[in-house]
Amino acid sequence: MAFDLKDLTEKDLKALITQAKKQQSALSKRKPIAQVRKKLVSLAKAEGYTIAELFGGKAPAGKKAAKQAGTATRKVAPKYRNPANPKETWSGRGKQPRWLAEQVKKGKKPEDFLIRK
């Protein structure tokens, strides 16, 4: 995130610094997300609930959650590759990546980007 500080007055800069220090202080007092998540999950479990039951949606992602749900997470080989940037690939699962969605909007077909073996 970049700010153009050249246009700010001294008063504006002081106000920005004060605001940033307050935000920094507030963030430093917070516990790490993983610690809070673990505490919530254990509390829910102790009361006989799951996070999904309490908050809706899916339970927290991860290997441990997948094992609890009865499914193991597996890495899937990519099926599609961006010719403009070969490092960008997609397995065909989940939401289409932006680069592929843009090409489909331009009239190309996903099959045009299949990785040939």
Reported as a single tens digit per residue, the pLDDT across 35-81 is 998 999 999 999 998 888 888 765 555 656 656 655 566 788 999 99
The verdict on residue 66 lying in a domain is yes
Q: pLDDT by residue (tens digit) across 14-41?
A: 999 999 999 999 998 888 888 998 999 9
Residues 6+ apart with CB under 8 A from 53: 44
Instruction: Give me the chain's average pLDDT, please.
Output: 85
Domain ranges, residue 93 = 80-113
Residue 99, pLDDT score: 93
The number of distinct structural domains making up the chain is: 2
Instruction: Round to whole Å and give the CA distance between 117 and 80.
Output: 11
User: For position 69, what pLDDT does the model report?
Assistant: 58
Residue 92 counted as domain residue: yes
| Statement: residue 9 has pLDDT above 70 | yes
Does some domain include residue 20?
yes
Are residue 65 and residue 14 in the same domain, yes or no? yes
pTM for this entry = 0.39
109 contacts 100 by C-beta, under 8 angstroms: no
DSSP string covering the chain: ----GGG--HHHHHHHHHHHHHHHHHHHHSPPHHHHHHHHHHHHHHTT--HHHHH-SPPPPSHHHHHHHT---------EE-SS-TT-EE-S-SSPPHHHHHHHHTT--GGGGBPP-
Domain assignment present for residue 61? The answer is: yes
pLDDT at 56: 79
